[in-house]
Structure 1
Amino acid sequence: LAKDWQAQDDSSETQEELTLDQFMSRISLESLHAYPDGEFEVYCHDGDLFWGHVIIVSGNINGTFQDAHIAG
């Protein structure tokens, strides 16, 4: 998603490709929502990678990730 979002940026600046290490160092945990059925949602600050949007990852405690998207 990060690379897709970066590719959509139509600013005139040439951007360096975002590496995994750069991505991981910029995001931070905002909240974790756990539900009785084993589902969860993780909300992360985007480190201004996506102009202040939130990153939401949903999954299950069995280790299955269902979705990741940028919101807000």
Structure 2
Amino acid sequence: MNNTTIGFIGAGNMANSLIRGLLAKGFQPSSIIVADVDNEKLEVLSSEYGIRLADNQSIAREANVVVLAVKPQVIEEV
């Protein structure tokens, strides 16, 4: 669709819904990067959608847009 790379910090329900919507609108899986402390959630998203996995620092460096998809009580840890 375009050259925008979108990074998600957080791999829960909010990120899953947004990623599904982006892919439905034509974004390529390779343009979506996700980080989370829960490796199981990351593996599910990666196998389901073919997106890239990374850590928070890599997302901050590589993504044109960063989505903080974490619960409010966790935001300070991020």
Highest Rg: 1 or 2? 1
| Structure with greater proportional helix content | 2
TM-score with structure 1 setting the length: 0.30
TM-score with structure 2 setting the length: 0.29
